């Protein structure tokens, strides 16, 4: 309360509230520590292990990511989201790994496409891979329509 009787919010309230919500899960680890140095070392250790676990979780999700019934645009967008999330927690993903995970997550209808990319003598860029994947999606869709439109086709 100010001298004139008005109630005012402490300008540091938001900082204190943020710190309180961030530090609350760490309190059991630091309550019995005697020095600020030990407190900071413990907080650093806890946050690093949480961060490392998050990185491993995100990389595992990227490694296991499957296209399923998504369009190519959706599939590649989800992969980019995972890669961006990994970058946001302080790690990186090599473009060759992104290419590998992308190819591994494709449907079986992309079998020949995957083989052609994997057996290329020169490395492919992510941009080129994405362009080829969009094109291949159209080729597969066209072939599927053509195959179902053939006379005598019972599928």
Q: What is the 3-state secondary structure (H, E, C) of 13-48?
A: HHHHHHHHHHHHHHHHHHCCCCCHHHHHHHHHHHHH
Reference 71, options 136, 126, 149, 115; nearest CA is: 136
Q: Is 138:108 a contact under the CB 8 Å cutoff?
A: no
The stretch 23-52 carries a mean pLDDT of 83
The 10s digit of each residue's pLDDT in 85-109 is 999 888 999 999 999 999 999 999 9
Which pLDDT score is estimated for 49?
Answer: 75
The stretch 30-50 carries a mean pLDDT of 84
The 10s digit of each residue's pLDDT in 74-85 is 999 999 999 999
In this prediction the pTM is: 0.67
3-state SS assignment for residue 8? coil
The stretch 32-56 carries a mean pLDDT of 85
């Amino acid at each position: 309360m100010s001298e004139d009787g008005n109630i005012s919010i402490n300008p540091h309230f938001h900082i204190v509230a943020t710190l309180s919500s961030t530090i609350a899960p760490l309190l059991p680890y630091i309550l019995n520590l005697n020095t600020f140095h030990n407190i900071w070392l413990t907080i650093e250790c806890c946050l690093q292990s949480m961060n490392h676990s998050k990185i491993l979780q995100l990389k595992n999700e990227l490694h296991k990511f499957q296209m399923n019934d998504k369009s190519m645009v959706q599939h590649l967008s989800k992969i980019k989201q995972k890669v961006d999330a990994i970058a946001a927690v302080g790690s990186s993903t090599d473009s060759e790994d992104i290419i590998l995970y992308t190819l591994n997550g494709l449907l079986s209808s992309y079998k020949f496409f995957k083989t052609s990319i994997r057996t290329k003598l020169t490395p492919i860029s992510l941009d080129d891979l994405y362009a080829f994947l969009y094109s291949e999606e159209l080729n597969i869709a066209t072939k599927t329509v053509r195959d179902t439109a053939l006379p005598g086709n019972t599928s």
